[in-house]
């Protein structure tokens, strides 16, 4: 199978995952058995940009290219000829089918975005954009990287909001390029870049990165701090920390200390130590589900409830690590009200004497505005936190909140 065929198969596979409930709803209406082959047929007929509504070309594809790879039966070809639906999107579909999400998640998103919830949910079923970030420890400017990528015919543009970001207009195996291997660039979504820039870290600061994973936030914080100061990167997963080690070395970062902690870790020895404590909290990840459409199939109400409990515990632990006058940041790549607004409201109620909430509008003006001149874009009903609308701003859905400990 050639590269074009592999690209076609990959595209169809992800398309089916993004629209699986709708595809199966149509097949159920026809009262026929749901098979992988028939799911592919509907994807080709309704969604594929090349084959959409073209039965002749679809049959050529199936008979000439895919018959050796798939179990295509004669009855399936007859099924193709019977396709005469008015359209893929049908107003008779229940909401969980139409939006490809269970009812409890739809209800939560309606609370987060009372006016835009439909657009937000539909954005999760679109193909994700591909963002990279320059590494200022090794690169002088975005212009340098943009020119190098354009020289090899990769269409790129500067990220709209992040002064460190570049967006590729199509997916490209960037991991194999020398720019990536040399640590000049990192793969990082624009919203994640913004969340890190807003933390206002400075060279020489002491920072704790809780639930650091493979080190995405630690990498950009070390870059902003110019490798000066200390970043303690904590995670419960040994493999993720090992992956972080590879990334840190590639990027030329040497002010990050990785520490493996147990799931029930305590803050003993870390109390009142840090100028900034960042909680990159484990969450549903719904704000990034356009990148991983299969994530929704491995998620349920119990997992959400478990995550909410963990998030609350992490906020409590992290607050004890903040030095007097220091800052606490809470970030999730989620727009569910239970993982963002509700968590922060509980924290404020329990810590109103010791911590004051920071206005993220002011943080933007102190950090990102001087770098690129872009005014604060994320207007919402929230007074001080940021809840990014992925449909409106064309970035991942994030929730960002910060507090300062009183001296």
CA distance 203 to 227: 7
Query: What's the token pair of residue 276?
Result: 């900034």
High-pLDDT (> 70) share of the chain, %: 89
Count of CB atoms situated within 10 Å of the CB of 41: 24
> In a 10 Å sphere around its CB, with 0-12 CB exposed, 13-18 middle and 19+ buried, how is residue 18 labelled?
buried
Q: What are phi and psi of 79, to 5 degrees?
A: -60, -40
Element (H, E) at 316: helix 301-321
CB–CB of 340/311 below 8 Å? no
> In a 10 Å sphere around its CB, with 0-12 CB exposed, 13-18 middle and 19+ buried, how is residue 81 labelled?
exposed
Q: Which letter does DSSP use for residue 323 in this model?
A: E
CA distance 177 to 100: 35
Mean pLDDT of 204-225: 97
Compute CA distances 210 → 110, 214, 232, 313, whole Å: 30, 12, 8, 12
CB–CB of 21/49 below 8 Å? no
Q: What angle do CA 111, 283, 235 make, to 5 degrees?
A: 155
Mean pLDDT of 94-99: 96
Reported as a single tens digit per residue, the pLDDT across 107-132 is 999 999 999 999 999 999 998 899 99
> In a 10 Å sphere around its CB, with 0-12 CB exposed, 13-18 middle and 19+ buried, how is residue 393 labelled?
middle
Q: What is the pLDDT of residue 330?
A: 99
Element (H, E) at 275: strand 274-280
The number of C-alpha atoms within 13 Å of 112 and in the hemisphere containing its C-beta is 31
Mean pLDDT of the chain: 91
Query: What's the token pair of residue 115?
Result: 């006016």
Q: How many residues does the chain have?
A: 407
pLDDT at 65 over 60: no
pLDDT at 55 over 70: no
Reported as a single tens digit per residue, the pLDDT across 221-261 is 999 999 999 999 999 999 999 999 999 999 999 999 999 99
19-23, 32-36, 49-53, 148-152: the lowest-pLDDT one? 49-53
Count of CB atoms situated within 10 Å of the CB of 162: 29
Q: What is the pLDDT of residue 398?
A: 97
CA distance 162 to 178: 23
CB–CB of 368/327 below 8 Å? no
Q: What is the pLDDT of residue 354?
A: 94
Reported as a single tens digit per residue, the pLDDT across 17-37 is 999 999 999 888 878 788 887
The distance from CA 357 to its chain's CA centroid, rounded to whole angstroms, is 25
Identity of the highest mean pLDDT range in 51-55, 90-94, 227-231? 227-231
End-to-end CA distance of the chain: 65
Q: What is the pLDDT of residue 152?
A: 87
Mean pLDDT of 250-277: 96
Residue 361: which residues within 8 A CB-CB, separation 6 or more?
Answer: 376, 384
Q: Bridge partners of 157?
A: 167
High-pLDDT (> 90) share of the chain, %: 73
CB–CB of 329/319 below 8 Å? no
pLDDT band at 6 (very low <50, low <70, confident <90, very high): low
Domains of the chain: 3-93 (no CATH), 130-187 (3.30.70.1170), 190-405 (3.40.50.150)
Q: Higher model confidence: residue 288 or residue 153? A: 288
Helix (H, G, I), strand (E, B), or coil: what is residue 260? strand
Q: Which letter does DSSP use for residue 185 in this model?
A: E
CA distance 224 to 220: 6
Reported as a single tens digit per residue, the pLDDT across 166-188 is 999 877 888 999 999 999 999 99
Reported as a single tens digit per residue, the pLDDT across 382-393 is 889 999 999 999
Compute CA distances 151 → 155, 156, 240, whole Å: 9, 11, 34
Residue 255: which residues within 8 A CB-CB, separation 6 or more?
Answer: 222, 225, 227, 228, 229, 230, 231
């Amino acid at each position: 199978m050639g590269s074009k065929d592999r690209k076609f198969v990959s595209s169809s596979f992800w398309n089916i995952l993004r629209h699986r409930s709708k595809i199966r709803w149509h097949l159920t209406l026809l009262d026929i058995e749901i098979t992988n082959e028939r799911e592919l047929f509907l994807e080709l007929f309704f969604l594929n940009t090349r084959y959409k509504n073209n039965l002749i070309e679809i049959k050529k594809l199936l008979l000439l290219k895919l018959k050796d790879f798939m179990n295509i039966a004669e009855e399936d070809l007859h099924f193709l000829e019977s396709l005469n639906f008015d359209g893929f999107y049908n107003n008779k579909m229940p909401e969980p089918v139409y939006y490809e999400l269970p009812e409890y998640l739809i209800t939560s998103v309606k609370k987060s975005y009372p006016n835009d919830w439909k657009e937000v949910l539909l954005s999760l079923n679109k193909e994700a954009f591909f963002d990279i970030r320059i590494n200022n420890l090794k690169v002088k400017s975005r212009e340098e990287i943009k020119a190098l990528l354009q020289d090899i015919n990769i269409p790129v543009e500067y990220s709209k909001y992040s002064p460190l970001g570049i967006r590729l207009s199509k997916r490209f195996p960037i991991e194999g390029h020398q720019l990536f291997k040399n640590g000049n660039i990192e793969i990082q979504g624009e919203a994640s870049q913004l969340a890190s820039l807003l933390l206002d870290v400075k060279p020489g600061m002491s920072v704790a990165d809780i639930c650091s994973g493979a080190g995405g936030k630690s990498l950009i914080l070390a870059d902003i701090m110019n490798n000066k100061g200390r970043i303690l990167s904590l995670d419960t997963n040994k493999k993720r920390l090992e992956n972080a080690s590879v990334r840190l070395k590639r990027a030329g970062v040497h002010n990050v200390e990785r520490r493996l902690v147990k799931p029930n870790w305590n803050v003993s020895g870390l109390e009142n130590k840090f100028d900034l404590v960042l909680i990159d909290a484990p969450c549903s990840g719904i704000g990034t589900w356009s990148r991983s459409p299969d994530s929704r199939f491995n998620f349920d109400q119990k997992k959400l409830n478990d995550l909410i409990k963990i998030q609350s515990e992490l906020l409590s632990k992290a607050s004890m690590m903040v030095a007097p006058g220091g800052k606490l940041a809470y970030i999730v790549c989620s727009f569910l009200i239970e993982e963002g607004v509700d968590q922060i409201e509980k924290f404020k109620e329990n810590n109103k004497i010791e911590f004051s909430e920071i206005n993220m509008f002011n943080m933007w003006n102190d950090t990102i505005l001087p770098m690129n001149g872009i005014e604060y874009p994320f207007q919402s009903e929230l007074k001080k936190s940021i809840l990014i609308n992925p449909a409106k701003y064309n970035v991942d859905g994030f929730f960002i909140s910060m507090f300062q400990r009183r001296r």
